[in-house]
Amino acid sequence: MTTVKTGDTVRIHYTGTLTDGSRFDSSEGREPLEFTVGAGQIIPGLDSAIPGMTVGEEKTVAVPCDEAYGPVNPDARQSVPREGIPDDIPLEIGSRLQMQTPDGQAVPVTVVAADDATVTLDANHPLAGQDLTFAIALVEIV
């Protein structure tokens, strides 16, 4: 039976949960996720769990935050003057926005605080600082 090795393109079904058991993502009802093993296309802790699997095999993988989206980086939070943000931009806590760096790169941010003078934006990935668990099933080695 063929086992997955680094460099293989694979298709998996997965369900991702947080340590409290709440589900944050799943391929349920969608096409399986396709990626090349070891190419850095998915988080490292999940990528490293795939080699050695065989088609049809299922397993559960615990991924610490350092091998997922990393720890929360306090430097990724920035307070900006509210007056510099157009009135039509939603500024409720939890709103997801997109900023642009001086070189034109888009950066997704989340509104984490707001008052009359400033808005605090967080560029950390929403799952930064979280340990994750994935239930995975290898569907195919392409």
Q: Determine the Cα–Cα distance for residues 55 and 139; give it in Å rounded to an integer.
A: 6
pLDDT at 21: 95
**pLDDT over 70, % of the chain:** 100
pLDDT at 1: 77
* Structure confidence at residue 90 (pLDDT): 85
Q: What is the pLDDT of residue 87?
A: 85
The two structure tokens encoding residue 81: 């003057």
Backbone angles phi, psi at 15, to 5 degrees: -135, 125
How confident is the model over 56-91, as pLDDT tens digits?
A: 999 999 999 999 999 999 999 999 999 888 888 889
Q: Hey, what amino acid is at 70? A: G
pTM: 0.83
Residue ranges with strand state E in the chain: 9-18, 23-26, 33-36, 58-63, 77-81, 96-100, 106-114, 118-122, 132-141
Please check the confidence at residue 102 and state whether its pLDDT lies above 90: no
- Picking from 69, 62, 54, the residue whose alpha carbon sits closest to that of residue 1 is 54
Tens-digit pLDDT profile for residues 17-55: 999 999 999 999 999 999 999 999 999 999 999 999 999
